[in-house]
Amino acid sequence: MSDSAKQKQIIQAVNILQAGGLVAFPTETVYGLGADASNPTAVRKIFAAKGRPADHPVIVHLAAPEQLNTWARDIPAIAWQLAARFWPGALTLILKRAEHVCDQITGGQDTIGLRVPSHPIAQALLQAFGGGIAAPSANKFGRISPTQAAHVQQELGDQVDLILDGGASHFGIESTIIDVSGATARLLRPGAIPLSELNNIIHGTAALTPAKEMTRTSGMLLSHYAPVTPLKIVPKTTLSTLIKTLLSADNKIGVLAHSVMPTEKHEHLTWYTMPAEPISYAHELYSTLRAADAQKSTIILVEAVPEQEAWLAVKDRLKKAEGTV
């Protein structure tokens, strides 16, 4: 697509947002389903399209860190430090909401999630629009997040007024979420940013906050990012045995594995070889889960990932897809 055609699409997207419509757009993490964050009626359309519970907050996307003051109050120094280091980028900050922020954005809470994405199309859209765009992932609530424009079309179809195609998302999993609305910074959701980099800013306190103590925010349910097909995480040592047992009972299975290789071919076995490195694994995870889900198997088996800090975000998404967090 030419630059002029891209610019026309951005203008079209801005007009749709200003009219209260929905625009799906790419970010470096996953595709978002966007509406004018200052328009409660437009934001409610997001919830209707996704089937999202009304008390589940959505993240507001901004063009630049300077817009924080428009959407949040009592912003602590640590928030500005994190923004300076990681924005534009895959970090969401939870802050005290500004007075004008509608309850549809925050789920009725006194906090708001804010992010400045780095994807060039997201940036072009936000800069042209000028305001905040409320945008959870562009999929049915609780299901696998979209990392390509085609995924959005498959899930939401004509419920979206326009889908901006920016190719495959770079990271492939959602943003890191840090709550800086209280006395100490708390990691609510691991994401693309390594904990070691976060700890350089928040002084070694980036331990994952227990779910019962969390502020409600995106992706915090026990079951999330899930395929329709039941998913089970299996240790490497027992994966092959379980596969044989399931196949002997005439089950149709899909397998995602990063170290174990298939011992034999079987008409009811579909094998997906995953990267053995966490960043590449994360990039491929959702698109592979979608492919496995489309096979309509009895079950999807996933080889357990290593118990290492670098795999924390991938492990989080897999456990939520399994529903065992």
pLDDT for 167-181, tens place per residue?
999 999 999 999 999
Query: Cα–Cα distance between 198 and 130 in angstroms, integer?
Result: 29
User: How much of the chain, in percent, has pLDDT values that exceed 70?
Assistant: 93
Residue 241, token pair as written in the block: 């045995």
Instruction: Quick: pLDDT tens for 128-157.
Output: 999 999 999 999 998 999 999 999 999 999
* Residue 207 predicted with pLDDT over 80: no
Over residues 102-113, the pLDDT tens digits come to 999 999 999 999
pLDDT digits (tens, 9 = 90+) for 61-93: 999 999 999 999 999 999 999 999 999 999 999
Helix axes 278-294, 312-322, angle to 10 degrees: 20
What pLDDT shows up at residue 129? 98
- Alpha-carbon distance of 227 to 163, in angstroms, equals 22
Is the pLDDT score of 159 beyond 60? yes
Q: How many CA atoms lie within 13 A of 19 on its CB side?
A: 11
Q: What angle do CA 200, 173, 205 make, to 5 degrees?
A: 25
DSSP structure class, residue 146: P
- Residue given tokens 């000028």 in the structure block: 130
Instruction: Decide if 291 contacts 272 (C-beta within 8 A).
Output: yes
Structure tokens at 43: 């934001």
Cα separation, 130 vs 11, in Å, equals: 12
Pairing of strands 91-97, 72-73: antiparallel
Asked if residue 50 has pLDDT above 50, the reply is yes
What count of Cα atoms within 13 Å lies in the side-chain half-sphere of residue 285? 33
The torsion angle over the Cα atoms of residues 186, 188, 189 and 191, rounded to 10 degrees, is -20
The contacts of residue 71 (CB under 8 Å, 6+ apart) are 37, 60, 62, 95, 97, 98, 101, 112, 114, 132
Q: Which amino acid is at 143?
A: R
Please tell me the predicted confidence (pLDDT) of residue 211.
45
The pLDDT of residue 217 is 55
User: How far is residue 245's CA from residue 253's CA, in Å, rounded to a whole number?
Assistant: 11
Q: What is the pLDDT of residue 212?
A: 47
> What gap in Å lies between CA 187 and CA 208, rounded to an integer?
5
Predicted confidence (pLDDT) at residue 117 exceeds the cutoff of 70: yes
Which residues, in sequence order, are CB contacts of 318 under 8 Å at separation 6+?
Answer: 231, 233, 285, 302, 305
**pTM of the entire predicted model:** 0.92
**Mean pLDDT, rounded, of the chain:** 92
Among candidates 42, 4, 39, which has minimal Cα distance to 161? 42
CA atoms within 13 A on the CB side of 129: 33
The answer to whether the bond into 57 is cis (omega within 30° of 0) is no
What confidence tier does 11 reach under pLDDT thresholds 50, 70, 90? very high
pLDDT tens column, 296-322: 999 999 999 999 999 999 999 999 999
Per-residue pLDDT for 199 more than 80? yes
* N- to C-terminal Cα separation, the chain: 42
Least confident of 3-12, 111-120, 193-202: 193-202
Instruction: Please give the torsion angle defined by the CA atoms of residues 86, 91, 95 and 100, in that order, rounded to the nearest 10 degrees.
Output: 100
**164 vs 122: CA distance, rounded Å:** 9
